Amino acid sequence: MAKILHGKVAVITGAGGGIGRALGLAFAAQGASVVVNDVGKSEHGDSTAHAVVAEITAAGGIAAASTDNVADWEGGRRIVECAMNYFGRIDCVVNNAGIVRDSLFFNMTADDWRAVVDVHLNGSFYVARAAAPHFRAQSSGSYLHMTSTSGLIGNVGQANYSAAKMAIVGLSKSIALDMARFNVRSNCIVPWALTPMTASAQQTTESAALIEKMKRMDPSKIAPLAVYLASDAAGKVSGQIFGVRANEIYFFNQIRMIRSVHRAEGWTAETIAEHAMPALEASFFPNVPSQTLTPWDPI
C-alpha cells in the first residue's frame, strides 16, 4: 500500500525537537522527503536539526537539515530554497517554530513582544510567502500553521504569544482565500503537548499543575492529523482550525456575527446603555483563560 505522503516534500520549521520533531518523523515515515528546520543546538552544541535528520535517515526516511532563522525574510527564502535544492519541489509548509517570553502585560518589554511576534507571526509569513510561487507554479500545495488556545481564547501572561497565535489564524484564512484558485490549502492546528518550549514557560502554581497534566500529551499525538492535512486526502479541507489533545481531535468554530440589534433612528451612547447592551449581554463570552475550558483529564 502506498504511503499517504509518498512523493511529497515538506518543510517543517522548529523541527529540532518537540512537536516539530514528531511531525518530521511521522511525515518521513509516511513517504515524504522532509526539510527539518531549526536554529537550535543541543546542550553539547550540536545542531538539533541535523540530529533529527539523522533519526529520520536511520529509520529509512529522507531528510535534509536547514538551520536558517524563520524570523528573517531571507531566512524564510533559504528554508524553502533548501527543499528545492535537495528535492526539486515543495508540497507542504508546516509553520511550527516558536518561542515564549511570558510576562504579565503590564511588565512586558518591547524586546519580549518583538521576539515572539518575529518568530511566530513574521516567521510563518516569511516561510509561507517563500513557498507561494512554487505552489502557484505547480497548482498544488498545503500550509499547516500551529496556533494556540492562548490566541483563540486567551491566557494569562502571554499577550505577545496570544496576539501572534491569533494573528496566525488570520494569516491562514487569508492564504486559504488568496491561494484557493491555485488548488492550495491552508489550515491551523492547535496542539496540546508538553514540549521544551511549553516547559520553559514562566512557572506558577497553576502552570505547574497544567504541565503535570500535559506530560500525558505526547507530541506524536499531533502527527496523524498533520499528516492527513498535508495529504491529498484532505483536498477539500481549507481555512479550518483543528486541535489535538491526547486522543481527542477538536474542531473549532470561528468568529461570526451571532446577534444584532437595530434602531431605525440610530444609536446614542445612552440608548446603547439602555437597550443594546442588555439585549446583547446574554450572548457575552466569559473572560477566562483557555485551560478552564478543558478541565477534564486527557486520555
Q: What is the pLDDT of residues 168-219, one digit of tens each?
A: 999 999 999 999 999 999 999 999 987 665 655 555 555 566 666 666 689 9
pLDDT at 197: 55
Between residues 296 and 37, the one the model is more confident about: 37
Residue among 8, 126, 165, 221 flagged as catalytic: 165
Residues 197 and 129 in one domain: yes
Terminal alpha carbon distance of the chain: 30
Residues 201 and 157 in one domain: yes
Query: What average pLDDT does the segment 27-52 reach?
Result: 96
Q: Answer yes or no: is 276 within a domain.
A: yes
Residues 241 and 280 in one domain: no
Quote the CA–CA distance of 183 and 179 in Å, as a whole number.
Answer: 7
pLDDT at 196: 63
What does the DSSP assignment read for 111-162?
A: HHHHHHHIIIIIHHHHHHHHHHHHHHHHT-EEEEEE--HHHHT--TTBHHHH
270 — pLDDT class (breaks 50, 70, 90): very high
Among 16-30, 67-81, 188-202, 218-232, where is mean pLDDT lowest? 188-202
Task: Look up 126 and say whether it is catalytic.
Answer: no
Residue among 161, 221, 228, 236 flagged as catalytic: 161
What separation in angstroms does the CA of 209 have from each of 81, 99, 131, 291?
42, 21, 40, 11
34 in helix, strand or coil? strand
Residues 232 and 265 in one domain: no
Query: What average pLDDT does the segment 209-233 reach?
Result: 86
Task: Look up 165 and say whether it is catalytic.
Answer: yes
Q: Which helix (H) or strand (E) holds 10?
A: strand 9-13
